Structure 1
Amino acid sequence: MELPLVPQADRAAGVVHDTRWASEARAATGCAALLLGLSLTIEAGNGTLAPARALLWCALAALLFAVLLPSRVEAAPGRLTVRGLTTRRTVRTDRLTSVRWSDGVAQRLILRDAAGGRAEVDPRVLVANPPLWRLLEADARVCQRRGTLLRGGTELDRLARRVDRESAHAVFRVSGLE
């Protein structure tokens, strides 16, 4: 397993990034490009390609890209930032007041801090990136001990078990014991 290259400034600042974001962003780009390429090819083959139709297919491909592009998550001691296509949300993890698990179609871990900051993170990102999880968990546990984290201990424990389970499975897969 090859470790991703981390810029020197990020390493010095203790910033940890989602290591799978780049590949997922490439996949979103590829899906959108494939939709655009196939639709324009079919339109041209049928002789129905017109500027308005080409513009419509470009818009649909752009919409598909926007839907598929994952949020970019990065963490440093004391903060977690989630950047979407048009938004950027930062929460102070050293001043957390609430951690909530949203069980819907798309699971989300909703973090709130004392200053009113709010960020939503896909738990799969934390499971796939143990260094991100470790930074968040360390700060959240400090908040729990201080008494500022009023809600979310159960959610943190649930996610900790999931990260530990996935890490153990990864170790077994790599060692050939699975």
Structure 2
Amino acid sequence: MGHRSAARHDAGHSHEEPPAEVTYDRRWAGDLRSAIRCSAVLLGILLLVDWGADSLTIVRGTLWTGLAILLFLVLYPARVTAGEGWLASRGLLRERRVRTDVLVSVRCLDGVSQRLRLRDAFGGRVEINPQVLLNNPDLWHRLNEDAHKSDACGSLTCGATALRQISKRIDRETASPVSKMSDLD
């Protein structure tokens, strides 16, 4: 029975070339643990303070639990993955995917937290934190390579400047630890 599912899985790939490698955000699990820890600490502190004040009731305990769950939902990190020609960001409820080999625009959005918005020719749209690319050079390499393909084929009409800025930032931040280790600073 395992052969049928493997055959179905391989049906989308040509027999001449192996399936492309998928790259994952290496820090996602740690970020998830941090979100859980922060929510649990908040819940513990709220329950402890209420218990110490002798005002803990089932209603208040439920309220504090709801608040901790809300904090977890806000802090839940999106899981970013990429392969040849695509990038996906999976949140709690759904996954958004963009074809990186036919990108139309790449924009840096500033605000409370900086975001990078990618849009493809088919209407797919993904927003990710640029820090994910800084923390995962393999993800950046995959995106950058496919973005160059988009630029070369003429589909990337807006975003070459944003990509150059991110590239410079990544080069600067990856060069900094190397120069510190070799005492070049």
Q: What's the offset of the Cα at 1:127?
A: 1.2
Unmatched 5+ stretches in structure 2: 1-18
Corresponding position of 2:140: 133
Q: Does 1:112 align with 2:119?
A: yes
Q: How does 1:55-74 map to 2 (within 5 A)?
A: 55-74=62-81
Q: Percent identity?
A: 49
How many Å apart are 1:176 and its aligned residue? 5.3
**1:94-115 CA-partner distances (Å, limit 9, x unpaired):** 1111111112221111000111
Pairs aligned (count)? 167
| 3-state SS in 1 of match to 2:142 | helix
Identify the residue that residue 177 of structure 2 maps to in structure 1.
170
- State which of 140, 152, 156 in structure 2 corresponds to 1:145: 152
Structure 1: state its 5+ residue gaps. 1-11
Moved runs in structure 1, 4+ residues, more than 4 A?
174-178
Shift of residue 172 of structure 1?
A: 2.5
- Which residue of structure 2 lines up, in the alignment, with residue 84 of structure 1? 91
Structural RMSD (CA):
1.4
Matched, 1:24 2:35: no
Q: After superposition, give the CA deviation of every residue in 1:108-133 in whole Å (9 maximum; x if it has no partner).
A: 11000111000001111111111100
Secondary structure (helix, strand or coil) at the match of 1:22 reads: helix
Higher radius of gyration, 1 or 2 = 2
Say which SS state the counterpart of residue 82 (structure 1) adopts: strand
Matched, 1:75 2:91: no
Paired with 1:65 and 1:176, the residues of 2 have a C-alpha distance of 41
> Once the 2 structures are TM-superposed, how far is the Cα of residue 33 of structure 1 from its aligned partner?
0.3
